A and B are shown apart, each in its own frame.
Chain A
Amino acid sequence: MQQIIYFFLRNKNFLLFFVLFLISLGLTINSHSYHTNQFVDSANFVSGGIYSLKSSVTDYFDLKEQNSKLAEENRLLQLQLQNLKVQVPQLDSENLPDSLVSIIGAKVINNSYSKTKNQLTINKGEKEGVTIDMGVISPEGIVGIVSHLSNHYASVQSILNTNSQVVAKFKKSNHFGTLVWNAQNPGEVQLKEIPRVANVALGDTIVTDGRSTIFPEGILIGTVKDFSIEEVGDYYNINVRLFTDMTSVKHVYLLSRKDAQEIKELEKEAEDVE
C-alpha cells in the first residue's frame, strides 16, 4: 500500500500531465466529430462577448469596402426584383406567397481561414431563431453551416474546414458531387465524385444542390478553375474558385428551408421501412 502511495507521490506531476493531456485529447477528438455537444466552443457567453467587443472596434477599418459590397448586392437584388415585377405584376411585399426559405441577417464577429478546421462566430443565436444546420451565405455566395449555438451567438463551420461536406452541382447540367477542402488555399475548394460522363469546362459555375436540405437550390459557390480525371476510378477532381472572399466576410445571411423538417421525416420513415 505504502509503495503505491509513494509511487503516486513520486510521479504526481506526470500523472497530472497525463490526465490533463487525455482530457485535451478527448476534447480535440470530440471537436472533430460534427454535431456532438461540445464543451469548448467559440459560441459561448464569454468569448462571444469579447469577440463582439473587438468587432465593434475593428468594424470601422473596412467599413468602406463592406459598404460598397452591400451596395453592389442591393443593386443586383433591385435588378432582379424589377425584372420579376415585370413578369409577375401583382408582386409586392404584402402578398408574397408563403416563402419556402426564411432568412436571418447576421454579422461575423470572428473569422478564421488559416487553419485546417476553420470557424466563424456570428452575433445571432438561439434567441434570434437560429438553429443548428442552417446554411450561411454571404452576398457573393456560400460560407458554411451553423454548427453550435448559444443564446446570442453561433459558430459556423466554414466551408474551409476539412470536416465540411456540402452537396454541390453544375449549374448547366445536374451532375452533383461533394464539396470538400484540402486545406491548401483559402480561395479554392475541391469538388469530388463528379462522374466521368459529365461535361466539364473551365469557368463552369458550381451551385448548391437542393438535395441536402441545408441550402436551397442554386446558391452560388464558385467557378471551375482546373480539373483532372482520377487515375483510379471514374471521377473528376475539380478545383473550384470560390465567389466569396472568405478572408473578408462581414455580413452573412442564415437560410433555413421550411420544408427541411418534412423532407427529413419522410427520409427517416423510408429508412425505417427498409
Chain B
Amino acid sequence: MWNNELLKNAGRFVLLVLVQVLLLDHINFLGYINPYLYVFFMVVYPLSGNKGLLIFLSFLLGLTIDLFNGSGGIHAGASVFIAWVRPFVLKYSFGVSYEYNTVKINSASFSQQLVYIMSLVFFHHLVLFSLEIFNAQQILLLLKSTLFSGVFTTLLIFCTLYLFGREHS
C-alpha cells in the first residue's frame, strides 16, 4: 500500500516536471502568462501524509524546475513555502476533521476545493514572483503576474483534478 503511494508520487513528480518545462513554460499567453501546474503535486499529496517528507519533496520538485529554467531557487522557495503552509490551508478550507482521514479532495464540495486550491496557488505565485522580480518598485508587475498566472494555474489544476483525480483519491 505504501509502496503503491510512493510509486504514484514518483511518477507524478517526473510527469509534472516534464509537462511543466517542455510544454507549459512556453505558452506565454498574452506575452507573459504561464501556468505552473506542478503545484498539483502539493495539492494532491495525501492529506494525512508525512509533512516533513512533503516539504523535502517540494523542495526537490522546485529545484528541478529551477534547474531547467536556470532561475536560481525561486521555484524551490515557493514550493517549500506552500508545502509548509499546507496544513494551515487545509484547516481553514476543510475544517479540523481533515487530520482524521475523513476528507478526500475529490469528494469535498466545490467551494472547499476552490478555497483550498486557490489559497495554495496564490501563496505559491506570490512567493515565486516576489523572488523572481526581487524589486519593490515593480510591485504592480508582481501583483499582475500573480493574479493572471494564478487564475490560469487554478483552472488547469481543476481540469487535471477532474480528468485524472479519480484514481488518486
Binding site for B on A (CB under 8 A): 12-14, 16-17, 20-21, 23-32, 38, 40-44, 46-47, 50-51, 54, 110, 112-117, 119, 121, 148, 155, 162, 183, 185-186, 247
Binding site for A on B (CB under 8 A): 18, 21-22, 25, 28, 31-34, 51-52, 55-56, 59, 62-63, 66-74, 76-77, 80-81, 83-84, 131-135, 138, 141
Q: Name B132's contact: one of A23, A25, A50, A117 (CB within 8 Å).
A: A117
Is A30 a contact of B72 with CB atoms below 8 Å?
A: yes
Separation in Å of the A22 CB from the closest CB of chain B?
9
A117 to B66, CA, bound (A): 13
Q: A16-B55, A40-B67, A47-B67 are in contact. Are A23 and B76 (CB under 8 A)?
A: yes
Task: Please list 13 pairs of residues, one from A and one from B, whose beta carbons are closer than 8 Å in the complex, sorted by A's number.
Answer: A20-B56, A23-B59, A24-B59, A24-B72, A40-B66, A41-B70, A42-B67, A47-B21, A114-B32, A114-B34, A119-B70, A162-B135, A185-B31
> What residues of chain B lie closer than 8 Å to A30, measured between beta carbons?
72
Is B81 a contact of A31 with CB atoms below 8 Å?
A: no
Is B72 a contact of A43 with CB atoms below 8 Å?
A: no
A13 to B80, CA, bound (A): 11
Is B132 a contact of A21 with CB atoms below 8 Å?
A: no
B contact face: mostly helix, strand, loop, or mixed: helix
User: Other than the known A17-B84, A29-B72, A42-B67, what 16 A-B pairs have Cβ atoms closer than 8 Å?
Assistant: A12-B52, A13-B55, A17-B81, A20-B59, A21-B77, A24-B62, A25-B131, A28-B73, A28-B131, A32-B72, A40-B70, A42-B70, A54-B22, A110-B68, A116-B133, A148-B70
Is B72 a contact of A50 with CB atoms below 8 Å?
A: no
A178 to B126, CA, bound (A): 31
A38 to B71, CA, bound (A): 10
> What residues of chain B lie closer than 8 Å to A110, measured between beta carbons?
68
> What residues of chain B lie closer than 8 Å to A112, measured between beta carbons?
25, 69
Is A113 a contact of B28 with CB atoms below 8 Å?
A: yes
Is A44 a contact of B55 with CB atoms below 8 Å?
A: no
A121 to B134, CA, bound (A): 23
A183 to B81, CA, bound (A): 26
> What residues of chain B lie closer than 8 Å to A51, measured between beta carbons?
68
Is A24 a contact of B69 with CB atoms below 8 Å?
A: no
Is B84 a contact of A13 with CB atoms below 8 Å?
A: yes
> What residues of chain B lie closer than 8 Å to A41, measured between beta carbons?
67, 70
